Structure 1
Amino acid sequence: MPRLQPRPKAVATSNLTPASASSTPGPSISKDPFLKAESPTSRQTSGREPADPVSQRATLFLIRRTLCTHLGDKGRSTPAPINEILPPLTSSNEVDVELYAFIAIIIREFVQTWYSKITPDPYFVEEVVKIIAHCTRALEQRLRKVDLESLLFDELPDLLETHVQAYRTANYSTHPSPLEGEPRKVYHSLWPFPALAPVPDDNALVQQQMNNEAHYRQLLVHGILAVLLPTEDLENDCLTTLVGQIFSEMILGGGIGGKASEPWLLWEGITKVSEVIQDHLPKSKAKVRHDRSKSQSLSQPPVDVTGGAEKRWRIGTSMQRTFWLILQYAFLTFTTIRFLIITIATSPSLPSRITATNKPPSLVQSKEHTGEPKLTTDRVLDSSKRPVKRPIIKMKLWSCFSSLFYLDFRMPWLYGMVSMLQWGALAGPGEVGNIDGMLDKILSHAVQTHVLDPSLLPLLLRTARSALFPNNTLAPPRTIPSSNEQLLIRRRCAEAILSLLPARIQDIYFGAGIERRVGEIEEVLNVFSDSYCNKHLLYGVVELIVVRLIPELDHKGVDELLEERLS
């Protein structure tokens, strides 16, 4: 196999191992840009691994100890930078470090535990790393061609909306008890998925369904490897079988088909996401409580104020509140007008969402003899008639949110008003919400700037590693919570979601009573209360992402792809 030469990187990611640190009498300063200069206090503890397992020093130590024990450090007083001894995974050094940390944990926990008992050969890890690096670089090139806006805000919410509607239909019976259908069978008939058939309602069918699911995972992984692996590695049956088994059973089977589909784990994940969002809000809960208590204390008169003095004090307090309220509204109005002026002025300079080759005028809009505009399609189509673009305000994210929280049932007037505004933006004067309209480009620019910012990816990977592998190792097997504990987890999740909404919105949408509000959020969370139904959603998400990254799998089978590569 030809050795993959690593490309030069802009920033080196080297670190000091404990062995090299003890080889010199004085403290040495690392040239790694990720590591800060050592203080006298840090020098005293440099021989020990830092307490924070996701810190940069601990991460690099993990990578070197697992992946670089036999690469590049022989005969050197100072360890070589990571980019000199490991092939690059992506075009970003920070992302590479986090991905290598994941790879190091997976190889240490799932591969070396049994491979080291077979042979002491240390070069197996090097070959696995090369294969993974080849695949990740190919995936990065394919990722640049994926429309992430449509994937995140249209296609994935569409899957979630399908799951919500199918689950609620399956669990809402119109017949009395003897005639009601089984929810899982009704759900599977509404969203058929061959890998999850037959519905496991007895022991014999459970094993058959598990076998079908395992075959589906292996087929999916081997299809990915048939496209991404180098030809010489694809010809090695032993290697493809081993790598395919690792990804299909240990990652997909143990993760997506196992723990991730459990309702209580999904609720815990939603809780953690809500807490992270809460921490990044402008005002924390303590600040809100402080402001509320302060406003309440201002509305209470002093203890020694009575009679006419109390009346004058209340008038003064009311005038003061009115003055600050007027000032706040004036500032808000000024800020809004300024934002609109700047946005309208800069919108023509924002990048277009579609190119000239993808913008056939007859497919975007047509005018009849009456002169009124008529939308002929929700998306802009390319020459192969495959949907490519859809206006931001027309994406499935909004209808998914409406279905999830019963907006059309709870507040039909609000749902109708939003629908009218949406139609006006799409077909009204100027068509500001249509493809490449002013509003569409502004929303797309906001998404690209604040949601799809590449600098957020290392932080996301670091947070995921901390949650999946605490202390950079496998967490001990967790005992499945009891029914009462699962109800408590669901309640905490509902409270975390409710804390994201301002109190005024809670009063308008849910009404009075904290128990009623939490109960209604818990009812929404019940759509994830069945692990079998959750598998339909999670496997659907995985399959959608794979097909968008590897479109060859959309119209070719695995055998056909292998024949093309190996012929």
Structure 2
Amino acid sequence: MASRRSGGSHIVFHGPRTTSVRSGGSKASNSIGPITLARRLLFPYHPPSEPLPPVLIKIAENNRDSDTWDQAAFKALNDELYDFLALVVRGFVLPWWSKITPRDKEFPQEITKIVLHLIRQIESRILVADLPSLVAGAIPALITQHYIDYRTACAKLPSAYATGLHASSSLPHLFHSLQPHMAVSADGDVDPNYIRQAVEHILRACLPPEDWEAETERGIVREIVLKIILDSAFPRLSQPWFLQKSLLELLGPPAEVAGPIPASRHGFTFNTLVILILSAVQVISGFALAAIAGIQNCLHIISEVNAPQSLTARVSPIYNGDLSSPPLEMIAVVFTMKERGATSAIFSLLQVSCGFMSPFLNRLIPYLFYANMRPALFTKIILQSKKVLFPDGYPGPPPVEPTLEEQVLIREQLEKRLFDLVPPMAAKVLFGPDPATQQRTVKGILDPLNSSKCNVHLLVLLLDAILITLFPELGLGSDATTGEGAESNDSAGLTPDARLSDRALTPGDDDP
């Protein structure tokens, strides 16, 4: 196995002492509390009384002196990251490695060291990447293009464009003609060599030379990532019913409707009048206090955003400094606002307002993005990922597609939940004036995500956008330099195009 002689073989704790991952020492004893899966598989020789080394070292160091940094939440995130990594090793490495050498515990530790080094290199890139442009620019633009192309493909179904195509595959083929991607076939199948080469470039950019030259270790890590993406993540995330069920869980249960107030037996009395007046005063005072608190928060945010020393007040170069247009355009396309007079007027008013406040919004959006990036958020994401990828502690089987009746029930529940989120008066403006138009609008919100073969295109394009943000050297014609341990690679990258949704990783000449 390749050894890491520089910094990577030692873990730096909060104190001055360092502990080598490869040091000998006694095994963890069961007499000192329960031994977690991560300690048993990834750190079998780590002292049980010592905490596990932090996964995200630079983020912890940068926020250690911050007043808003929650150490307990960061420790929970660290534990969940190790638990997720231990589940990956147990699910994708031990089933075949234990058949070769059942007693060897060094190999999972070597895999752990390589993965931790990759995570820390990606962490370094995240700290300097323009993530607000990804979240507020690239992702809304891709979703907008997906909705537009899906509706265009549906409009072409009854035309001559669908001549010669089978009824069940005509929509994916028409959609593929609008969004051709080298990694996705017309039938919605992802080319594994595309993902494999993308992971290979990430390993080349992040691994130190001694680990990059160890072809066996590199190949095992690459295939593990490939298997997680192609066999676990994409088959689930592309299913319409899975997306609808996830949206239902995200929106939460509907609010309980209070029952009618029982009428008084004695009719309208003086006591009833006093109660009504006091209740009205309480409501008005509560609203006034909430308005005052909201105004104070707004003034605080405005002062923070306009502060010259604010690190988040930067303008994205990707969208000419306008981060508010892509989300606004996405909302207009998803809700079909341009098809109705009232919503079209509202959209035009919002466009004018956002254009007028564009310099401020370009600083506000990054501020809100970084202000809401808390360890608890990522812990929740990891917990949900474990629930999806490892439902019983092991890699789950391919998703069992619900019956047609169950899919219809999920869809109806989601449509009803969307209706319940909007007050009746606002629904007439946002969804349409009459129930038929409102039902058609809500149906149009969910329909573009109703084809798993079309959703695969969106997933691959989102993966491309994330890769080009964290690894700009993958872009063709990019002058960006690679990170630590990286090698320049001009033969692979994202094809530049006027349409963001057409960007794609291009295989290089040195295919692995």
TM-score normalised by structure 1 residue count: 0.68
2:336 to 392, 406, 417: 406
Deviation track 1:435-492 (CA, whole Å, cap 9, x = no partner) reads: 2x3x65455434432x323442223322332343234333455532222222222223
- 2:174 paired residue number: 186
| Bigger helix share | 1
Gapped regions of structure 1 (runs ≥ 5): 13-17, 23-27, 31-56, 201-208, 279-283, 360-378, 382-386, 428-432
Report SS of the residue matched to 1:82: coil
Deviation at 1:270, TM superposition (A): 1.8
Kept in 2, the 8 Å contact 1:98–1:461? The answer is yes
**Aligned equivalents of 1:528, 1:7: Cα separation in 2:** 46
| Amino acid paired to 1:469 | F
Alignment partner, residue 106 of structure 1: 88
Which of the residues 130, 150, 154 maps onto 1:171?
A: 154
2:39 to 48, 61, 64: 64
Picking from 135, 157, 163, the partner of 1:152 is 135
Match of 1:365 in 2: none
Q: What secondary structure sits across from 2:358 in the alignment?
A: coil
Q: Equivalent residue for 2:224? A: 246
Distance 1:137 1:501, change over 3 A: same
Distance 1:447 1:322 in 2: 43
How is 1:16-415 mapped onto 2 (pairs within 5 angstroms)? 20-22=29-31, 61-69=36-44, 71-73=45-47, 79-83=49-53, 91=60, 93-120=75-102, 121-173=104-156, 175=158, 182-197=170-185, 199-200=186-187, 210=189, 213-248=191-226, 250-275=227-252, 285-286=255-256, 289-290=257-258, 293=259, 296-297=260-261, 301-302=263-264, 304=265, 310=267, 312=268, 324-325=279-280, 328-329=283-284, 332=287, 335-336=290-291, 339-340=294-295, 343-344=298-299, 347-350=302-305, 381=317, 387=318, 390-392=321-323, 394-410=324-340, 412-415=341-344
Letter of the 2:41 partner, please give it.
T
Q: In structure 2, what residue type is equivalent to 1:547?
A: I
After TM superposition, give the deviation of residue 231 of structure 1 in Å: 0.9
Among 372, 377, 391, the alignment partner of 1:470 is 391
Deviations 1:359-415 (A, max 9, x none): 8xxxxxxxxxxxxxxxxxxx764xxxxx276344x23122212211212224x3233
Identify the residue that residue 4 of structure 2 maps to in structure 1. 2
| Partner SS, residue 169 of structure 1 | helix
Aligned counterpart, 2:71: none
Distance 1:559 1:425 in 2: 38
Which has the larger displacement, 330-339 or 99-108?
330-339
Aligned equivalent of 2:367: 445
C-alpha offsets along residues 502-551 of structure 1, whole Å, 9 cap, x if unaligned? 45534654479999866753442121121111110001111111111111
Q: Tell me, in whole angstroms, the C-alpha distance in 1 between the residues paired with 2:273 and 2:425.
A: 21
How far the C-alpha of 1:196 sits from its partner, in A, is 1.3
Distance of aligned partners of 1:401 and 1:353 in 2 relative to their CA distance in 1, 3 Å threshold = farther
Structure 2 Cα separation of the partners of residues 532 and 543 of structure 1: 17
- Alignment CA distance shift 1:10-1:527 (3 Å): farther
Identity over aligned pairs, percent: 23
Amino acid corresponding to residue 467 of structure 2 in structure 1: V
Find the residue that maps to 1:196 and give its secondary structure. Answer: coil
Counterparts of 2:308 and 2:140, CA distance in 1: 20
Whichever residue aligns with residue 409 of structure 1, its letter is: E
Deviation track 1:147-181 (CA, whole Å, cap 9, x = no partner) reads 22221122111111111111111012374589667
Quick check: 553-562 or 183-192, which moved more?
A: 553-562
Matched, 1:417 2:419: no
CA distance in 1, matches of 2:50, 2:374: 31
Is the 1:495–1:518 contact (alpha carbons within 8 Å) kept by the matching residues of 2?
no
Structure 1 window deviating more from structure 2 (315-324 vs 159-168): it is 315-324
Rounded to whole Å, the distance in 1 between the matches of 2:175 and 2:406 is 26
User: 2-side partners of 1:109 and 1:544: how far apart?
Assistant: 28
- Are 1:350 and 1:442, in contact at CA under 8 Å, matched by a contact in 2? yes
Q: Counterpart amino acid of 2:249?
A: K
Q: What per-residue deviation string (whole Å, max 9, x for no partner) do you get for residues 243-264 of structure 1?
A: 211212x111113442321222
> Judging changes above 3 Å, is the alpha-carbon distance between structure 1 residues 350 and 235 closer, same or farther for their aligned structure 2 residues?
same
Cα distance change on mapping 1:448 and 1:238 into 2, 3 Å: closer
Q: TM-score, normalised by structure 2?
A: 0.75
After TM superposition, give the deviation of residue 346 of structure 1 in Å. Answer: 6.2
Matched, 1:534 2:455: yes
Query: Which structure has the larger Rg?
Result: 1
- Alpha-carbon RMSD across the aligned residues, in angstroms, is 4.1
Aligned with residue 446 of structure 2, among 516, 525, 531: 525
Q: Distance in 2 between matches of 1:350 and 1:93?
A: 29
Q: Distance in 1 between matches of 2:308 and 2:206?
A: 29
> Secondary structure of the residue that 1:83 maps to in structure 2?
coil
CA distance in 2, matches of 1:150, 1:487: 36
* Number of equivalenced pairs: 453
